[in-house]
Amino acid sequence: MEDHVLTGHVLAAHALAAAATPEASTPEGPSSQELLDAILASLSDDKAEDIVTIDLRGRSAFADHMVIASGRSTRQVTAISEKLSDRLKDLTGTKCKVEGKDAGDWVLIDAGDVIVHVFRPEVREFYQLEKMWLPAEADARAH
C-alpha cells in the first residue's frame, strides 16, 4: 500500500538530516514535507498498517497533510502513537497535541502541518475518514 521505496530508517535519517540542514528547514522547524517523511518513517518502523497519506494543500487551512494508519490492537495503537509523539518532539523541539491515547481506539496527533490518525481497524472502518477526504477515484485505488 505504501508508495515509498526507502525503508523507514532511511526515511527517518533523511528527514532528520534535512531538518538539521539550515537551507532545508525554516527557523520555525522542519518543512511540511520533512515532517511528513519523518511521520511515515516512524509509522513504518512501528509496523503500522494500511498507511494512507492525504494531501490537504489547497483544501484545508488547518494542515498540509493527513495521515491515517492502523494498529492491530489497542496496545499497538498506543505504542505507535507514543513513539511517534516522542520522535516528533525530538525533531521539532515541541510536544505535539495528542488526543485519545488513553483509550487506544483512535489517537489523533496534531503535528502542525501534518495531522495523524492512528486507529484500531474496527474503529477506522466505522468512521471511514478516507471517504471524507480522498477524491472518489483515489479512494477506490486506496482499497
pLDDT at site 54: 93
Report CA torsion sign: 111, 88, 18, 45. negative
Q: From CA 37, how far away is CA 102, in angstroms rounded?
A: 26
Q: Which residue has the cell 534535512?
A: 18
Rounded to two decimals, the pTM is 0.75
Q: Kindly write down the DSSP assignment for every residue of 19-58, as one continuous string.
A: HHSTTTSBTTBS-HHHHHHHHHHHHHHTT-EEEEEEE-TT
Q: Give the CATH number of domain 47-142.
A: 3.30.460.10
pLDDT at site 67: 97
pLDDT at site 5: 32
pLDDT at site 35: 94
**Contact between 46 and 70 (Cβ < 8 Å):** no
pLDDT at site 61: 83
Give Cα 35 distance to the centre of its chain.
Answer: 9
What tens-digit pLDDT sequence spans the chain (143 residues)?
333 333 333 334 334 434 433 334 445 678 889 999 999 999 999 999 999 999 998 887 889 999 999 999 999 999 999 999 999 999 988 899 999 988 989 999 999 999 999 999 999 999 999 888 876 555 444 54
Closest CA to 113 of 131, 129, 94: 94
Helix (H, G, I), strand (E, B) or coil at 112: coil
